[in-house]
Amino acid sequence: MISTAPSGKIVAKTASVHIDPTCNAFLHACFRPFGIHIVPVAGDPVATLSRQKFEGCVLRLYDPEAERILHAARSSSSNRPMVIYGIARSAKEALCCSSYGINAILDEPLDRTSVVKVVRSTQRLVMNELRRYARVPVKSQAMVEASTGSIMATTVEVSAGGLSLRSTHALSSGEVRLTLALPRLPRLNLRAFICWQRPGIEKVYGMRFDATDPSRFRIRSWIDQHLEIV
């Protein structure tokens, strides 16, 4: 689920694991100006990370459960690329979990200036992760050109990496050419690949955009503007 701030801007969610309320409030004040919200995780963090998408995670690397939590995060299909902030009291602690790809270290005791500096340097990573997964529900016309011919379809959701669309006509798997009519954009033409399909009277198809097609960047900019990503 996409989270938005009261201003209507989309925000990135960073899971806070086993951190006390006072420290969470401090972290939230440091992260919030960069469009990143601290979300305290209740209950078993491993279960939460397996079912809920986050753009980042912050935890103490000396937590007795740190390795179990990090393993769960890096093993999750949706959270594997998340940005991980590790709180450490020494260089030794900072290196103890290096095999899990810790992206940034927050030195304890935490200092506001130092934390803000780290968050500023990693903001782009977090926002790129947010853009990658943000899906915009939008119903617009699409034309799909496949080897079997051209059909008209309706978009369901659009993301920076692909889209889902609905059609009464069957499509075979493989490469297709899409013509999209998204709000406030001229018609776009780009290559895509059918990744999955849901059968029924109205069939739903999932498509991944060709990574080499420059029109992808027009869609990414449209998503940023549509969701007001900071």
pLDDT digits (tens, 9 = 90+) for 104-125: 999 999 999 999 999 999 998 8
Residue 7: is its pLDDT beyond 70? Answer: no
Residue 18: is its pLDDT beyond 80? Answer: yes
Residue 230: other Cβ atoms inside 10 A: 17
**Lookup: tokens for 215:** 């029109």
Residue 31: is its pLDDT beyond 90? Answer: yes
Name all domains of the chain by residue range, CATH numbers in brackets: 3-133 (3.40.50.2300), 136-227 (2.40.10.220)
Is there a contact between 73 and 66 (Cβ–Cβ < 8 Å)? Answer: no
Task: State how far the Cα of 68 lies from the Cα of 196, in Å rounded to an integer.
Answer: 32
Is there a contact between 46 and 69 (Cβ–Cβ < 8 Å)? Answer: yes
Residue 134: is its pLDDT beyond 80? Answer: no
Render pLDDT for 179-217 as a digit per residue (tens, 0 to 9): 998 888 899 999 999 999 988 878 899 999 998 999 989
Is there a contact between 114 and 30 (Cβ–Cβ < 8 Å)? Answer: no
Q: How far is CA 102 from the centre of its chain?
A: 18
Render pLDDT for 136-176 as a digit per residue (tens, 0 to 9): 888 888 999 988 789 999 999 998 889 999 998 888 778 99
Q: What share of the chain is helix, strand, coil (3-state, %, to 5)?
A: 35, 35, 35
